Structure 1
Amino acid sequence: MYESEITTPPLDPRLQEYQMMGHAGLRRQIVDAMPGLSDEEADLRVIAFWSAIYGFSSICRKGVIHISRGAVATVDIAHQIVHRAVLSALSA
């Protein structure tokens, strides 16, 4: 949302290879957990999961998330974000 091709360098091909492996592994886990999903639905669930995790990690890294002093620790929020992303990916 706050980046563009001007401010973001192109992706290293080696990193892209690992990202594709991660995508395939995540898709395999979702398909194995939910047999009968269409290819389209499996792809959408992977994209939604990946977007939630990537988006959260990106905004944390950039300091966009502001947590009130004494509130929930970032690591606890990260755990809850992953938990909710998994529930969403595996919901019927």
Structure 2
Amino acid sequence: MPNVALGDHYEEFVQRQLESGRYNNASEVVRAGLRLLEDFEVARERWLNEEIPARFQDLAQDPLIGVPAKAVRARFEARRRSHTAEAK
């Protein structure tokens, strides 16, 4: 297995994790991160290969369950305005 250059940001992150006492060495920190990445990728593949086709099939069987693009855009715009107003 080749050595990996993490860069300053991640080296500092690993050091903070070690200082917290949660991990015994840098390898444990990296393995924990890789487990999270693996879980994310498995969930992403499931979503792409199972969830999306199932929802598409549902929509094909009953087009009335769909939401028009204009309505989706309006919801996003309303949410953006709300967040912008809260930030002020």
Same fold (TM over 0.5): no
Pair member with larger Rg: 2
Q: Structure 2-normalised TM-score?
A: 0.35
Q: Structure 1-normalised TM-score?
A: 0.34
Which has more helix, going by share of residues? Answer: 2
The higher-RCO structure (CA 8 Å, 6+ apart) is 1
